[in-house]
């Protein structure tokens, strides 16, 4: 019997605990160590592990776990601000890293991610679960089959009413609050830019060339705070949040596609990733959840009618990605409708098999850089900012892949 892959989970907030539980349900993986700055979280995680008849080491300092004789892979699920520091250390120690999503604080941080990975040769993967979403996968599948024709415009967003989570950040020990007080950027671009970059073959024959971002005023959090009356909200009464409520970013691609992404987390709204793909033969948009494929008949009808709200449910079954079909029971095995399970399996199987990382360090550096670049553009009044090439020209030669992490 093959030895189980030994993982350490660093960061035991809501996200870390969720991923830890997903790992605990896998037969070929074990959690040998957990770590968090807060001891109560460590104890809670250890208790959960022992309940499943396992045992693990608990630490409040991740540096004590940087020994590759004991750990085969590290899952980093801390606050955004600690991701890269831990990833650097793990890669230097030769321990493969699966890192949760987040934006970068500087372009240099992204370049260093690439440098450390190239120098050490240690695998690094960004655990962007939305690359494995049912709709994102179905659209990728349709793009690869040419059903949308030539892809021309892609959109997405992180449109999630987080006012409660942000404003009660101190109560919940959640790191978002500080981000909204101190920065103005698209602070969370990867949920939408990940799937977009994959279907546009970014860093594999295509690349992001430039970016410009525009931020709205900050009004949503202030009003939210003013409506309540408790110790946490009262403390925020006079805070001027630096983060604009809505941040738009337009990205130019080397192959001529336009990308529009939005951060929209401080206003009342239903959740949406606003995922939209438009090509010369068809389109999909998450707002309205409809597909629309070209045909003479459809065209004639479309002038007046044509929108078929929520037909996505039907299309997404018809054009389900092979990965999704293969692991259709995945939704029973993890959070967010199966995505979390798929992204974890992609990482674990690539580490175990010594395969290339499905979402590699060039992907991660490119996606995370949007946060730093959008901050720069906003600071300059929405000016055009050049997008660095983290592959140093290798994007021209790197080949597109059908998809990532599963041999299909």
Instruction: Report, in Å, the least distance between residue 79 CB and a copy of itself.
Output: 21
* Half-sphere CA count of 190, side-chain side, radius 13 A: 23
What's the chain's length in residues?
408
Strand order in the sheet with 5-10: 57-59, 29-35, 5-10, 73-76, 97-99, 124-126
Q: Which is nearer to a copy of itself, 54 or 256 (CB)?
A: 256
How far apart are CB 268 and a copy of itself at their closest, in Å?
Answer: 4
Q: From the CB of 223, what's the least distance to a copy of itself, in Å?
A: 4
Nearer to a copy of itself, 60 or 280 (CB): 280
- Evaluate whether 151 touches 400 at the Cβ level (below 8 Å): no
Query: Which phi and psi angles does 392 have, rounded to 5°?
Result: 50, 45
CB 373 to a copy of itself: min, Å = 13
Torsion of CA 144, 127, 197, 408, to 10 degrees: -10
User: In terms of CB distance, is 287 or 349 closer to a copy of itself?
Assistant: 287
- Using CA atoms, how far apart are residues 35 and 354, in angstroms rounded to an integer? 26
Buried-state track 37-62, b at ≥16 Cβ within 10 A, e below 16: beeebbebbbebbeeeeeebbbbeeb
Site of interaction with a copy of itself (CB under 8 A): 149-150, 152-153, 160-161, 163-164, 210, 212, 214-217, 219-220, 223-224, 244-246, 248, 250-252, 255-258, 260, 264, 267-272, 278-283, 285, 287-290, 292-294, 298-299, 302-307, 309-310, 380-384
Beta strands in 166-305 (DSSP E): 208-215, 246-253, 258-264, 276-279, 282-285, 290-293
Decide whether 120 or 285 has the Cβ nearer to a copy of itself: 285
**Closer by beta carbon to a copy of itself, 94 or else 382:** 382
- As measured in angstroms, the least distance from the Cβ of 337 to a copy of itself is 10
Q: Which is nearer to a copy of itself, 309 or 329 (CB)?
A: 309
Q: Compute the C-alpha angle 83/140/304, nearest 5°.
A: 120
In whole angstroms, the minimum distance from the beta carbon of 259 to a copy of itself comes to 9
61 sits in which H/E element: none
């Amino acid at each position: 019997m093959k030895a189980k892959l030994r993982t350490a989970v660093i960061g035991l907030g809501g996200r870390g605990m969720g991923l830890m539980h997903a790992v605990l349900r896998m037969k070929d993986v074990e959690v040998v160590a957990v770590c968090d700055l807060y001891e109560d979280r460590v104890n809670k995680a250890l208790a959960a592990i022992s309940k499943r008849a396992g045992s693990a080491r608990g630490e409040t300092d991740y540096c004590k776990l940087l020994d590759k004789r004991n750990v085969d892979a590290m899952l980093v699920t801390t606050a955004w601000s600690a991701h890269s520091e831990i990833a650097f250390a793990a890669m230097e120690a030769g321990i493969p890293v699966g890192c949760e999503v987040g934006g970068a604080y500087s372009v240099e941080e992204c370049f260093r991610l690439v440098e450390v990975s190239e120098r050490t040769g240690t695998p690094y993967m960004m655990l962007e679960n939305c690359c494995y979403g049912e709709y994102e996968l179905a659209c990728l599948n349709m793009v690869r089959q040419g059903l949308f024709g030539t892809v021309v415009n892609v959109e997405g967003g992180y449109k999630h009413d987080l006012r409660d989570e942000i404003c009660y950040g101190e109560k919940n020990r959640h790191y978002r609050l500080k981000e909204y007080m101190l920065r103005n950027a698209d602070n969370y671009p990867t949920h939408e830019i990940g799937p977009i970059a994959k279907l546009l073959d970014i860093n594999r024959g295509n690349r992001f060339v430039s970016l410009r971002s525009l931020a709205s005023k900050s009004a949503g959090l202030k009003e939210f705070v003013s409506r309540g009356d408790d110790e946490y909200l009262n403390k925020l009464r006079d805070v001027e949040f630096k983060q604009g409520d809505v941040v738009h970013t337009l990205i130019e691609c080397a192959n001529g596609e336009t990308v529009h992404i939005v951060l929209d987390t401080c206003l009342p709204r239903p959740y949406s990733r606003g995922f939209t793909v438009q090509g010369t033969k068809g389109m999909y948009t998450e707002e309205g959840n409809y597909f629309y494929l070209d045909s003479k008949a459809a065209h004639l009808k479309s002038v007046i009618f044509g929108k078929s709200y929520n037909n996505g449910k039907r299309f997404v079954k018809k054009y389900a990605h092979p990965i999704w079909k293969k692991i259709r029971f995945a939704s029973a095995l993890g959070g967010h409708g199966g995505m979390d399970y798929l992204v974890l399996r992609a990482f674990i199987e690539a580490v175990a098999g010594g395969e290339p990382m499905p979402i590699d360090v060039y992907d991660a550096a490119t996606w995370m850089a949007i946060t730093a670049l959008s901050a720069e553009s906003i600071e300059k009044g929405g000016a055009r900012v050049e997008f660095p090439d983290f592959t140093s020209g290798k994007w021209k030669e790197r080949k597109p892949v059908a998809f990532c992490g599963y041999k299909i």
